[in-house]
Amino acid sequence: MSKLRVQCFTLSLDGFGAGPNQSINNPLGERGLEMMNWAFATRTFQQMHGGDGGSTGIDDQFTVRAFENVGAWILGRNMFGPVRGGWGDESWKGWWGENPPYHVPVFVLTHHPRASITMEGGTVFHFVTEGIHAALAQAKAAAGVKDVRLGGGVATVRQYLAAGLVDEMHLVLTPVLLGAGESLLSGIDLAALGYKCTEYVPGMNVTHAVLTRMG
């Protein structure tokens, strides 16, 4: 059965999934990109961005898993870009250039309607104004027998977690202290929601934890 998965979601040691003050120059907030150094070092990331080399250990193995059997994505508005309010001239088409790394349909949560955007490589951005359940229904229909990957950001993952809709969540604990930003799990009782830690694996530079919703 198709699952809703969170993969490679990186947290600072003090529990933040993004730094404060997101902007076009700081897509993960101030100092947020420091948390992602583990991913940048993997062979999978290097190959996705036209590079060579990179690590091939546990961190890379989890990165490979993150893209397996994914038929659609869901993103929050902030993950798509820093534009707030109405879309204006609609020139913004995401952080990733003409060929985003998704290569499947992507459903973006927003309060402001916008026509779908077809990009190179099979990525099509669809904009959903009816909320998280509608986005999930559309993403599952597009994914078919494959899974839906929930890309974030923090507020979007929190909404799906609180609604009990995330089947599996892979968290990456990185030795960075942000001090401020967006907390992923504050006020969310994962145990009460039925989650158990089913994998806990030290990597080269980070620790990987997989939480699975039981029942």
Tens digit of each residue's pLDDT (9 = 90 or more) over 58-100? 999 999 999 999 999 999 999 999 888 999 889 999 988 999 9
Q: Provide CB contacts within 8 A for 171, sequence distance 6+.
A: 6, 9, 10, 11, 184, 208, 209, 210, 211
- Asked if 154 contacts 183 with a C-beta cutoff of 8 angstroms, the reply is yes
Please tell me what DSSP assigns to residue 111: S
- Distance from first CA to last CA of the chain, Å, rounded? 14
The domains of the chain are located at: 4-86+94-213
pLDDT at 84: 87
Q: Measure the CA–CA gap between 59 and 101, rounded to whole angstroms.
A: 19
Q: Measure the CA–CA gap between 205 and 25, rounded to whole angstroms.
A: 25
Model pLDDT for residues 149-175, shown as the tens digit of each residue: 999 999 999 999 999 999 999 999 999
Q: SS3 of 101, please?
A: coil
pLDDT at 48: 81
pTM for the whole structure:
0.94
Q: Does domain 4-86+94-213 have CATH number 3.40.430.10?
A: yes
Q: SS3 of 37, please?
A: helix
